[in-house]
Structure 1
Amino acid sequence: MRTYRELFRTPEFTPLFVTLSTQIAAMTVAGLGLATLVYRDTGSPLLSALALFGPSLAQVIGATTLLSAADRLPPRAAIVGIALLFALGTAVQSLPGLPVAAVFVMLFCQGLIGSVGGGVRMGLLNDILSREGYLLGRSLLNIAVGVCQIAGYGAGGLLVALLSPRGALLTGTVLYVCAALCARFGLSRRAPRAAGRPSVAETWRVNRRLWSVPARRRIYLALWVPNGLIVGCESLFVPYDSAHAALLFGCAAAGMLAGDLTVGRFLPQRWRGRLASPLQVLLAAPFLLFALRPALPVAAVAVAVATVGYGASLLFQERLMALTPEELSGQALGLHFSGMLTLQGVSAVLAGVLAQHTSVPTAMAVLAGLSLAVTAALAHAEERGTRDRKPGSALLLVTARRSEAGATGRSHRRAESSES
């Protein structure tokens, strides 16, 4: 599978594509409206950042309690139900006079529910496409995310300016309902990928198994930390320039779209193992310019150039799938998704705290510097851990599987010992 056209000829890919795109548009429009509403009511950069990315903090709780449901629920029913619950929560947030505390309670609930949704959707994508087609399919979905974010932030900015932040929230509610309808009537009924009932114990067991392989641990950290810190920079766009925040978010989405298109469609296979870390350097370095508080045109160009680096996540996800058994793909991708969003939420909090104690430009530059430091440390660890082995090779896969088997065996022996 080598072209995007082939993806749309694959059964069920189109309705999944439309469902995800509509959900991203809903999240973007509603998120901008809510962040603007909270900032107007409180004047707090921290609370504004949390309103935009706060639901991500609940992902860590979902990842440790609910994530086994990603492989143990019927995908269509789960996707429809999650979209409807998001619609309900967004509608409640639009109510006039709702206390700020109640807004964040709803955001927490949405984040908890969303921790399962990412694994369900990406696991279903892995079922619909072959392993060879996953990178191309994920690339196209990421491009859809970029396009919908550009359109969503543009529409959200207009709705906030012409109507009100609550008008943006109500528009998001309608879009969530449309996503649920698309999934219900476009996707076919499928059995869960794994047997058994979802449980906290099962979630922990599989997470330990996924985390037991050093190569996978490094991939997860590379997927979570450098990108999350840059999302922390983005969470400060509203207090940095509230009148033009939608433009900066749109530039970020455009850069991400360009990066995903280049990596997913045009990057040769032989380069994929070499460019992941350089792309993450590109992601962070331009944000250092914000320490100088550049004018809007310079800031917009810096954001657009930097966010091309988000394409690195496709390369790391491809490595992750090469090292993961198929029956665990939903939870493996769900753990990536939840961990990524959790780090985004943590970074948004960190960004807000730094901004309140220093300044918004200083906070953005500090987070960019931290992202560069983490990227360098992970690249060094990867080089040391895989020296004389080609990343993604059969030898790496065999080594990872042996490590996983050894960790699983030690776990079983500890359990047997404790029982005796």
Structure 2
Amino acid sequence: MSTANEASSGPSAGPSAQPAPTGPAGGYRSVLRVREFRPVFAGHLMSVLGIVVAEIALTVLVFRTTGSPLMSALTFALGFLPYALGGTLLAGIADRRPARRVLVGCDLVCAACAAAMILPGTPVAGLLVLRCAMAFVAPLFQGARGASLADILGPGDAFVLGRSLMRMVAQSAQLIGFGLGGLLLTILAPRAAIALTAAGFLCSALLLRFGTRARPARAGAGRTSPLAGLRAVLGERRLRALTLLFWLPPVFVIAPEALLVPYADGIGAGTAALGVMMCALPVGTIAGELWAGSALGPRARSRLVAPLAAAGLLPLLVYAVRPGVVTVLAALLLAGLAHAYTLGLDQWYVDAVPDELRGRAMTLLSTGLMTLQGVGMALAGLAAEFLPVHVVVTGAAVLGTAVVLLLLAELRSANRREGGPKNETGPTAK
């Protein structure tokens, strides 16, 4: 699967993690030297590439079968609803079951779904159901993996850099995967390309099964209702503010990406310029994470959370003057660079989440992020039906900045009220 880690009962249960020395002196290389992290990282890379290729191949397969642009678009966008349902209904499993078992099981489910897609005669309805099944288990996989990174690397700076590596792989794989998928489909039939996805999931399952240690389920993670985890995460004031700082900024920053095609058409940019502009935000995001993880230590990253989060949408204000390609590229790159605030926020989040809730919290975090990005894209498109694109993006920048400032103020207030620290290190654990 595209994301997964092992859950355990926390560093105190079972073998303890052996975090690598990190910060500017250790950096990403020290994280990659952790033996148990490498198979998780390799499995993540293979499954992300596989998912991207499968999405393209399945969309092409459905279009060739039905001849319907609507059905092909539905296939590409179909993952949002089952992803949201899966993240809400399955989140508790990430804590109640041993993480390695959860991760391997999710990979095998996705491998089986991909294998079923390539069977001759599978109807379009069956293909869509299989696509939904893969999306349904994806957030559980991501949450269990995110929680177990803290067990493998320790809940300190190595965890932050490990999460950063996973995000950079996902961004890079999307950039490379769409090109690779298009290239593969010039030499392979769509079903053959999907077969590679099934193989990728199987390889990921093998890497996780034999490359990571078995850890018990988390202590204190009893059986609860599906919504109990959501109440636990959003019911605590500080944790709610941290969660919303992950969820809400992407709702607004996705607006220029969602509207790039009509904007490029409106300013007379060609397809080549459009392609470059579509790469600008993810390239900026990767560069920002790489800089923050390589050049800054934990304290510096923590101090930058508030200013980078607050300033992240400001470059998009240039849309107010309906800029050309070069200015849009610069604005999107700067907005992506500001995403480096998530490294410090990751540390605050893992410190604030109780060990017994970590799997559910990570599952819900990824679920909300994916779901709200889809909502942001839809809202941007809806607004652009009534307003010029440059006005929509400018409005998103203004509104998003106001929302971030309110969340930062709420976080400071929660820290004071709940006895949290008031210095640059952010919220402390439990």
Confirm or deny a common fold (TM above 0.5): yes
Shift of 1:223: 0.5
Partner of 1:69: 93
2:247 alignment counterpart: 224
Structure 2 gaps of 5+ residues are 1-20, 265-269
Task: Report the identity percentage.
Answer: 30
**Match of 2:97, SS?**
coil
Per-residue Cα deviation, 1:334-368 (whole angstroms, up to 9, x for no partner): 22111111212222332343345556655544444
Q: Distance in 1 between matches of 2:428 and 2:30?
A: 28
Superposed CA offset, 1:91-121 (max 9, x none): 6667899887766544433332112111111
2:97·2:217 contact (CA, 8 Å) conserved in 1?
Answer: yes
Match for 2:135: what amino acid? G
- 1:315 paired with 2:349, answer no
1:236-258 Cα deviation digits (max 9, x unpaired): 55676695566445433322211
Number of the residue aligned with 1:179: 204
Q: Does 1:135 align with 2:160?
A: yes
Question: What's the TM-score once normalised by structure 2's chain length?
Answer: 0.76
Q: 2:301, 2:343 within 8 Å by CA — same for their partners in 1? A: no
Quickly say closer, same or farther: Cα 1:393–1:305, change in 2 above 3 A: closer
Contact 2:220–2:356 at 8 Å: present in 1 too? no
Relative to the length of structure 1, the TM-score reads: 0.77
Q: Say which of 208, 215, 234 aligns to 1:211.
A: 234
Q: State the AA in 1 paired with 2:200.
A: L
2:180 pairs with one of 146, 150, 155:
155
Partners of 1:30 and 1:299 lie apart in 2 by 31
CA distance in 1, matches of 2:393, 2:197: 28
Deviates more, 1:201-210 or 1:159-168: 159-168
User: Is the deviation greater in 71-80 or in 290-299?
Assistant: 290-299
Superposition pairs of residues 188-337 of structure 1, within 5 angstroms: 188-194=213-219, 199=223, 201-231=224-254, 233-237=256-260, 243=271, 247-289=276-318, 296=325, 298-337=327-366
| Structure (1 or 2) with the greater helix fraction | 1
Greater mean deviation of Cα atoms: 186-195 or 331-340: 186-195
Q: Give the paired residue count.
A: 394
Residue of structure 2 equivalent to 1:119: 143
Could you list the runs of 5+ residues in structure 1 that have no partner in the other structure?
402-420
Conserved? CA contact 1:279–1:310, under 8 Å: yes
3-state SS of 2:313 partner: helix
Question: Counterparts of 2:102 and 2:334 in 1: how far apart (Å)?
Answer: 36
**Aligned residues of 1:153 and 1:249 also touching (Cα < 8 A):** no
| Aligned-pair CA distance for 1:267 | 2.2
Segment of structure 1 superposing worse, 136-145 or 268-277: 268-277
* Corresponding residue for residue 144 of structure 1: 169
1:68-87 alignment runs, 5 A limit: 68-87=92-111
- The alpha-carbon distance between structure 1 residues 301 and 260, as it changes in their structure 2 partners (threshold 3 A), is same
Amino acid at match of 2:155: R
Separation (CA, whole Å) in 2 of partners of 1:39 and 1:290? 35
Note the C-alpha offset of 1:219: 0.4
Q: Which amino acid aligns with 2:183?
A: L
Residue by residue, what CA displacement relative to the aligned partner does 1:106-144 show, whole Å, maximum 9, x if unpaired?
Answer: 443333211211111111111111122211222222232
Partner Cα distance (1:161, 1:303) in 2: 31
Shift of 1:384: 4.1
